[in-house]
Amino acid sequence: MGPPRRVDHVAGGRGHVAGAAYSHRVSNLEQRPQEMSCGGVAVAVRDLSPELLEPREVPLGGPRAMLVRRTLPHRDRRMVGAWCFVDHYGPDDVADGPGMQVPPHPHLGLQTVSWLVEGDVLHRDSIGTTQLVRPGELNLMTAGRAISHSEESPARRSPRLHGVQLWVALPDRDRHVEPDFAHHADLPVVSVDGAMVTIVMGEFGGALSPARTYTPLLGADVVLAAGARSQLPLDGGFEHAVLALSDGLVVDDVPVSRGAMLVLPAGRRDVELISDGPGRVLLLGGEPFEEELLMWWNFVGRDHEEMIEARADWEAGRRFGTVRGYDGAPLAAPPLPTTRLHPRPRLRPRPTD
């Protein structure tokens, strides 16, 4: 195995990215998000060497907002399996100040996976859910055709907050399912070569998460003892990513700093994790996602017209329902992108006479 390619973020997009900015965050507060094309087998299997993705820091909200570290989507890697969005935040001191405050905002075409290492986050949504999530528990929201939600640090809260917010793209056949919310507080935990692995999504080490998935997928939280060296088996049909949640980690001989991600191409049968001190990683995986997607703001769709319609529906109070109980106004949608992806011909061929 050769050395990994180091890939750093730049401010502007290129390749499949139209426009100058990436468009997604836990809740996207960006002023002018542009559309981004994701998925497709050409992206998924274009390279066989591991890829080290450095995160970029993105403020979540206003001037006193939390900073999150984003590794997906990345300029050179849009997805790992159906995982299309990865934000890592903390550990932050949230004893004072607003903590996490994400006002009501819409989603479609995806699932959101909320997973904490420390602290607590209160979720509310438009299908009537109010649910606190704590470490070791999964909040899984399936947006399907439309949902809206808010996320906040509760008034009485743990002083520290550390976690991830992930999105899973839904395949075309399922992306219009009815919205759903599930809280899983009893996930399977297995010990594999000295590592304690909680199976958040999918199957690992002979144990299966009860969480509903729509494509072959893995999400696992891995705890390593200080000085550990663990070899974890991988599904050869999946591509994988190891997201470092702690310092001092080495993944397949590559040092991976906290917040960074090492992507392993499909075909790998195992991965070696070494940790200096007590270690923690998130192992993500899935079958390469072959459908082409379009992501804009908090939406995962297939074409520009869909984004126009979704934005209009949110602004008009249609389709996405109402989140009750959040102390604050819903997020306004940003302006539509000025550049459209996959533009359709302005003049359609005329039928022959």
Q: Closest separation between CB of residue 131 and Mn ion, Å?
A: 14
Q: How far is the CB of 307 from Mn ion (least distance, A)?
A: 16
Name the minimum Å distance from CB 102 to Mn ion: 7
Pick from 105, 116, 112: nearest CA to 320: 105
Distance CA 177, CA 250 (A): 40
Distance of CA 61 to the CA centre of its chain: 17
Contact 87, 76 (CB under 8 A): no
Residue nearest to Mn ion (CB): 27
Which residue, among 353, 317, 311, has the nearest Cα to 334 in the 3D structure? 311
Task: Give whichever of 23 and 27 is closer to Mn ion, judged by the CB atom.
Answer: 27
Binding mask 128-167 for Mn ion (x = CB under 5 A): ----------------------------------------
Q: How far apart are CA 286 and CA 292, in angstroms?
A: 16
Least distance (Å) between residue 115 CB and Mn ion: 14
Distance of CA 12 to the CA centre of its chain: 20
Please identify, using beta-carbon distances, which residue of 233 and 328 lies nearer to Mn ion: 328
CB of 254 to Mn ion, least distance (A): 31
Give 27 or 209: the residue with its C-beta nearer to Mn ion: 27
User: Is residue 21 within 8 Å of residue 33, measured between CB atoms?
Assistant: yes
Which x/- pattern over 19-58 shows residues binding Mn ion (rule: CB under 5 A)? --------x-------------------------------
Which single residue is written with the structure tokens 């904490």? 116
Q: From the CB of 27, what's the least distance to Mn ion, in Å?
A: 5
Sequence-distant (6+) residues with CB within 8 A of 345 are none
Q: How far is the CB of 219 from Mn ion (least distance, A)?
A: 17
Residue 313: C-alpha distances to residues 264, 285, 340 (Å)? 39, 33, 19
Smallest gap from residue 133 Cβ to Mn ion (A): 13
Q: Is the peptide bond before 179 cis (omega within 30 degrees of 0)?
A: no
Nearer to Mn ion, 22 or 204 (CB): 22
Q: Which is nearer to Mn ion, 166 or 199 (CB)?
A: 166
Q: Which residue lies nearer to Mn ion by CB, 139 or 275?
A: 139
Nearer to Mn ion, 87 or 92 (CB): 87
- Using CB under 5 A, count the residues that bind Mn ion: 1
Euclidean distance between CA atoms 117 and 164, whole angstroms: 8
In terms of CB distance, is 24 or 340 closer to Mn ion? 24
Cα angle vertex 242, ends 22, 101, to 5°? 50
- Smallest distance from the beta carbon of 338 to Mn ion, in angstroms? 24
Core vs surface per residue 174-211: b (16+ CB within 10 A) or e: ebeeebbbeebeebbeeebeebebbbbbbbbbebebeb
Cβ nearer to Mn ion, comparing 275 with 298:
298
One DSSP character per residue, 172-236 reads: GGGTTSPPEEEEE----EEEETTEEEEEEESEETTEE--S--SSSEEEEEEEE-TT-EEEEE--T
For Mn ion, the binding residues (CB under 5 A) are 27
